[in-house]
């Protein structure tokens, strides 16, 4: 499912508001930041949202492997659950694999390097920290 109905001014406003709220609470993160309000629709049941540079989001609703509907390069990924999420090099799950997880969902991870070109996303039922 690809959603393109969220406007960038609203996304930016939500991020600014969230940053201000976290700043007053004294919270910060280095490699992961709390999810912005603009992502997969609230209450949709999405486990993960994968974002591209055009502003689209591909929402994933179940455990398993799949090829994203949006095209790379990807800019970020929001994990709404404690499950491990793997990005794989190739659509069939082969090649390199990078693990992402959070113990405090929802978390948005900025993607860099090879993760921006992943061919497959796998949501695992495993809720342990990544190796």
Cβ partners under 8 Å of residue 111, min gap 6: 74, 75, 76, 77, 87
Domains of the chain, by residue range, sit at 2-123
Cβ partners under 8 Å of residue 55, min gap 6: 4, 6, 8, 11
* CATH class held by domain 2-123: mainly beta
As a whole-number percent, the residues of the chain with pLDDT over 90 amount to 63
In this prediction, residue 39 carries a pLDDT of 80
* Mean pLDDT of all residues belonging to the chain: 79
Lowest-confidence pick of 48-52, 59-63, 96-100, 104-108: 104-108
Looking at the whole model, is its pTM more than 0.75? no
């Amino acid at each position: 499912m690809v959603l393109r109905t969220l406007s960038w001014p609203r996304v930016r406003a939500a991020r600014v508001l969230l940053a201000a709220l976290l700043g007053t609470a004294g919270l910060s993160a280095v490699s992961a930041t709390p999810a912005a309000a603009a992502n997969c629709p609230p209450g949709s049941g999405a486990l993960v949202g994968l974002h591209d540079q055009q502003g689209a989001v591909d929402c994933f609703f179940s455990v398993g492997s799949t090829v994203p509907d949006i095209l790379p390069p990807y800019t970020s990924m929001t994990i709404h659950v404690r499950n491990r999420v793997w990005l794989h090099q190739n659509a069939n799950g082969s090649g390199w694999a990078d693990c992402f997880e959070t113990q405090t969902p929802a978390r948005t991870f900025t993607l860099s390097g090879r993760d921006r070109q992943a061919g497959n996303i796998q949501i695992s039922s495993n809720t342990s920290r990544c190796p």
